[in-house]
Amino acid sequence: MTATADRPAPVEPVASPGGEPGSIVGWLASTDHKRIGLLTLGTALVMMVVAGGLALTIRTQLAQPQLHVLTNDRYDQFFTIHGSLMIYMVMTPFAIGMGLYLVPLQIGAPNVAAPRTTMFSFWLYVTGAVVMLSGFFTDSGAADHGWYAYPPLATGRFTPGQGVDLWIVGVALTGLGMLIMAGTVLWTALLKRAPGVTMLRLPVFSWSVVASNLMVIGAFPSLLAAVGILAIGRVRPDLFTHNAWNIGYQDVFWFFGHPVVYVMFFPYVGAIAEVIATFAGRKFFGYKFFVVSQLLFAALSMSVWGHHMFTTGQSSNYYFSLTSIALVIPAGIEYFDLLATLVGGRLRFPTAMLFGLAFIPQFLIGGLTGIMAGTPALDYQIQDSYFLVAHWHYTLAAGSLFGLFAAVYFWFPKATGRMLREGLGKAHFWLWFVGTNLTFLPMFWLGFHGMPRRIPTYLPADGFTTENLISSIGAALLGLGAMVFIVNVAESLGRPRYAGADPWQGHTLEWATSSPPPTFNFSARYPIPPVHSYAPLLDLRREREQVRSAVE
């Protein structure tokens, strides 16, 4: 670097924390929240490919009656690891990782609080995923007790072998990692905001991260306790000859298990809120209502876990049914805000917006059938049937996953400085829109006709054939769409089309800095603009328009 009187040139010789910026060490031991965030998001996407591959194999097996693609044991392992990966290793880490990448940018902070602790948590997550998957390489195969590992099935007596042990260790590592990561991000949002960014000027996405990370802090210790109980049961299976411990495990597990469902939901709704507000070109409608209802929603969702235990007959069904159905109120407010933002906006429809819009009706299907499942009288009917499988896939796959991709298409240019191809993006969207509904809609009918979940095959006489075939064809479309997405990413990295700082005319601070942002997010060259609301860049743009029209 030569000393000149001028300002530094835009691209300077580099010397960075922990080695060369592009080097492996520079990434793997980085203290930059953007890198740790991208590592987390990237790992989650890789895990999604693995979990999706397992699901496609399951769907192949079920396409026709009496197929034998997988042995029965393998089938059990596949759906267990598919569900476990999707929940512990994909949707949850991606939700928390988005917060890690975006919150410091949105609040004008140079970095996450405690970056080394955050890197520690990332590595706990990665090793947890590896340990869980390594179960496939043991003699007895991977865990096959379902993603919630009920005892006594999951004890050493009924499921011997190392698969379950490795599952327990993997979940413990990842669970701890996510607890810590959510903690540092929440700490950042609460304490490390730039001057002028008050709590009531936090962007909608950041608020959704606050609400969801509060749930993580309240609920994830319970997951660690649950797998702890399970571990003791592996060593001493007699523990679970007592009802108190069996049902106790269910309580401790679901005290985590329900809130995590909303951890896999809130940040995606927050992302969609930003996407919709941006592409409607107006401020998000009903900001304060949204904030309050998110917090209420989060608090309430800590109190509904017993609805997973209605049919045990050992839970306070009235209480849990009451709280579960009360969830409709905050959810309704959020829906109203999303729709009201759209009405009267000047809409644009890039891929991110399409994914965001499709989320709205699809999640509604998941939510409404959730109310059905939250009604004990109905739940006795549909419990453990494909109706339930359809329900949660509408919330998670047709809902949150669409939110995930809305976020990916929206923030990819910010994170990499390159645009994704719109044409390929739209192909991906339509394949997924059709594929998702083809895959999961028939499952409602299967459930009504009595197809139980977790069965490796069925007979022609059962009458499940047509729906299963349609469902499997849909799954193939999903696989195809995923490939289009991978091609899109490869294409845009290989033959870049550079994105400016603000390709979408965003509303929040991350769009004020370069793409990708400099080390500490904002610099003399990319300063933090004045913040007077939760959409500071929109304010500035309007101010400028007004000045202009007044001058003309």
Partner 1 sequence: MKLSHGVVGAWAASNLVLALVHLAFRPRPLPFFIYIGGSAVVAGFGLAVLLAMRAGHDGPQRRQPRRASAAVVAALGAAMGLTGFAYGWWLSVLGVYLLGVAAWRVRGERLRPGARPWPVALGDAQPADRPALVYHGSSIGTAVPVPADHPAHGPPPPAPPAPEPSATVRRGILLVLLVSAARAIVNVLKGRR
Query: Which spans of this chain sit near ligand HEM (rule: CB under 6 A)?
Result: 52, 55, 58-59, 79-80, 82-83, 86-87, 91, 146-147, 389, 393, 396-397, 401, 439, 453-454, 475, 478
Structure tokens at 328: 């409709």
Contact (Cβ atoms closer than 8 angstroms) between residue 411 and residue 272: no
Residue nearest to Cu ion (CB): 258
Which tokens sit at 307? Answer: 């609805």
Indicate the burial class of 3 (C-beta count within 10 angstroms; 0-12, 13-18, 19 or more): exposed
- Find which of Cu ion, ligand HEM, partner 1, none residue 55 binds, CB within 5 to 8 Å per kind: ligand HEM
Dist. CA 140–CA 71, nearest whole Å: 13
Least gap, CB of 48 to ligand HEM (angstroms): 8
Least gap, CB of 453 to ligand HEM (angstroms):
3
Q: Which residue is nearest to ligand HEM (CB)?
A: 83
Angle at which helices 287-301 and 243-263 cross, to 10°:
170
Identified binder of partner 1 from the candidate list 329, 347, 459, 547, rule CB under 8 A: 547
Nearer to Cu ion by Cβ, of 380 and 498: the residue is: 380
What does the block give as tokens for 419? 């645009």
Q: Of the candidates 342, 100, 333, 103, which has an alpha carbon nearest to the alpha carbon of residue 202?
A: 103
C-alpha 450/C-alpha 125 separation (Å) is 38
Nearer to partner 1, 439 or 513 (CB): 513
Q: Which of 543, 544, 546, 509 is nearest to 529 (CA)?
A: 509
Helix (H, G, I), strand (E, B) or coil at 156: coil
Look at residue 389 and give the partner it binds from Cu ion, partner 1, ligand HEM, none, a contact being a CB closer than 5 to 8 Å depending on partner kind: ligand HEM
Spatial separation of the C-alpha atoms in residues 506 and 509, rounded to whole Å: 8
Give the Cα separation of 498 and 485 in Å (integer).
18
The residue range among 49-57, 106-114, 372-380, 382-390 that interacts with partner 1, by the rule CB under 8 A, is 106-114
Residue selected from 54, 223, 298, 327 as contacting partner 1 according to rule CB under 8 A: 298
By a kind-dependent CB cut-off of 5 to 8 A, residue 103 interacts, out of Cu ion, ligand HEM, partner 1, none, with none
198 contacts 190 by C-beta, under 8 angstroms = no
Instruction: Read off the tokens for 153.
Output: 């099935």
501 touches partner 1 by CB under 8 A: yes
Q: Closest CB to Cu ion among 302 and 470?
A: 302
> Alpha helices, DSSP H only, in 154-311?
162-191, 204-235, 243-263, 266-280, 287-301
Asked if 107 and 192 touch (Cβ cutoff 8 Å), the reply is: yes
Rule CB under 8 A: say whether 313 interacts with partner 1: no
Find the radius of gyration of the CA atoms of the chain. 24
Report if residue 173 touches partner 1, rule: CB under 8 A.
yes
C-alpha–C-alpha distance, residues 411 and 503, integer Å:
10
Instruction: Considering the complex, state which of residue 182 and residue 406 has its C-beta at the smaller distance from partner 1.
Output: 182
The yes or no reply on residue 428 touching Cu ion (CB under 5 A) is: no
Contact code string over 5-24 relative to partner 1, x by CB under 8 A: ---x-xxx-xxxxxx-x---
- Interface map 188-227 toward partner 1 (x if CB under 8 A): --xxxxxxx-xxx---------x---x--xxx-xx-----
207: amino acid identity, one letter:
W
Residue 434 within binding range of partner 1, rule CB under 8 A: no
Is the CB of 262 or the CB of 485 nearer to Cu ion? 262
Whole-number minimum distance, CB 344 to partner 1, in Å?
A: 5
Query: Which one-letter DSSP state was computed for residue 373?
Result: H
The partner in contact with residue 475, picked from partner 1, ligand HEM, Cu ion, none with C-beta cut-offs of 5 to 8 angstroms by kind, is: ligand HEM
Residues from 249 through 308 that contact Cu ion (CB under 5 A) = 258
Q: Does 277 bind partner 1 (CB under 8 A)?
A: no
Interface pick for partner 1 out of 160, 344, 423, 460 (rule CB under 8 A) = 344
Q: Residues in contact with partner 1, total (CB under 8 A)?
A: 136
Q: Which amino acid is at 156?
A: G
Positions in 42-101 near partner 1 (CB under 8 A): none
State the minimum distance, in angstroms, from the CB of residue 304 to Cu ion: 6
Among partner 1, ligand HEM, Cu ion, none, the one that 537 touches (CB under a kind-dependent 5 to 8 A) is partner 1
Of the two residues 258 and 421, which places its CB atom closer to Cu ion in the complex?
258
CA–CA separation, 270 vs 400, rounded Å?
11
**Cβ closer to partner 1: 236 or 544?**
544
First to last CA, the chain: 44
Nearer to ligand HEM by C-beta: 58 or 538? 58
DSSP secondary structure letters along 437-451: HHHHHHHHHHHHTTP
Regarding 345 and contact with partner 1 (CB under 8 A), the answer is: yes
Binder among 116, 236, 242, 348 for partner 1 (CB under 8 A): 116
Taking phi over 0 as left and psi of -120 to 50 as alpha, with beta for the rest, 419 belongs to beta
Indicate the residue among 98 and 396 with the shorter CB distance to ligand HEM. Answer: 396
274 bridge partner residues = none
Q: Which residues bind Cu ion (CB under 5 A)?
A: 258
